[in-house]
Amino acid sequence: MLLAIDVGNTNTNLAVFKGDTIVSDMAITTKTPRTADEFAATFRELLRVNGIATEDIHSCIISSVVPGIMYYLKGGIFKLFGVHPLEVGAGIKTGVKIKLANPKEVGADRIVDLAAGYNIYGGPVMVIDYGTATTYDLIDADGTFMYGLTCPGIRISANALWHDTAKLPEIELALPPTILANDTISSMQAGLLYGTIGQTEYIIDRVKREAGLKEMKVVATGGLGELIAGATDKIDVYDRALTMKGLKIIYDKNR
């Protein structure tokens, strides 16, 4: 079995593949400091709870946007499984060509999402990831990463509202039935969620127009992406496991 790990700024997501099928997925908090021993113990317990034996894991691939934890994370993986993980980065075959001013600045998570978007859905395709940041990335019909936009994520915007204002409360991020809000909580929910929907629709339309790609597919992923995708017809597909599928695709290209 293959263990795929995506280290994000907020959460670290894990998926176990048997062949091409995800048999289990899990998540831990990224910002909790852990030693190699603590990573090993955490992963052992997660796998046990999900009915997977550690000896069944024969390989591992990681994408990460948090370099500070990688030494201990890779140490924990080797301690538990006895394997050195493949890390998405320079020199790794991804199937994605990068036509940006500074290719080395592109986060591993974005490359992984684009590898999945292009290989599964074809190009041209825009991949939107509603994570800590919301990213809009475009790959053309030849598999070249052409353009990318980065916006504050929904949770970042929400945290700014309730931490930087004296009277606004912390709220559940849910889509209210109407944008015509008449109380504080629904007002915040409508502003955050319908505001993101408006941003999404505008960016998709503008990119299609400026890039001349009327037939561009749009694929969304990320924790809150399902809420947005379900409220607009501008998104063609919501794929919750897109990043993990991308890691499996890249692993297979480098076997």
How many whole angstroms separate alpha carbon 139 and alpha carbon 122?
9
Least confident of 131-140, 160-169, 222-231: 160-169
DSSP assignment of 127-156: EEEESSEEEEEEE-TTSEEEEEEEEE-HHH
How many whole angstroms separate alpha carbon 158 and alpha carbon 171?
8
Any idea where the domains of the chain sit in the sequence? Answer: 2-87, 97-248
| Contacts of 115 by beta carbon, 8 Å cutoff, 6+ apart | 94, 95, 96, 246, 249, 250
Q: Tell me: the pLDDT tens digits for 5-59? A: 999 998 999 999 999 999 999 999 998 899 999 999 999 999 999 999 999 999 9
What does pTM read for this prediction?
Answer: 0.92
Of residues 109, 129, 137, 140, which has the active-site annotation?
109
Q: How confident is the model at residue 103, as a pLDDT?
A: 75
Q: Tell me: the pLDDT tens digits for 154-179? A: 999 999 988 888 788 888 899 999 99
Q: How confident is the model at residue 29, as a pLDDT?
A: 94
Domains 2-87 and 97-248 fall in the same CATH topology: yes
Q: How confident is the model at residue 124, as a pLDDT?
A: 96
How many whole angstroms separate alpha carbon 142 and alpha carbon 28?
36
Pick from 97, 95, 127, 57: which is nearest to 251 by CA? Answer: 95
How many whole angstroms separate alpha carbon 210 and alpha carbon 204?
10
Is 109 one of the annotated active-site residues of the chain? yes
Task: Note the CATH number of domain 97-248.
Answer: 3.30.420.40
Pick from 115, 131, 107: which is nearest to 30 by CA? Answer: 131
The whole-chain average pLDDT of the chain stands at 94
Pull the structure tokens for residue 239: 């794929």
Domain 2-87 fold: Nucleotidyltransferase; domain 5 (3.30.420)
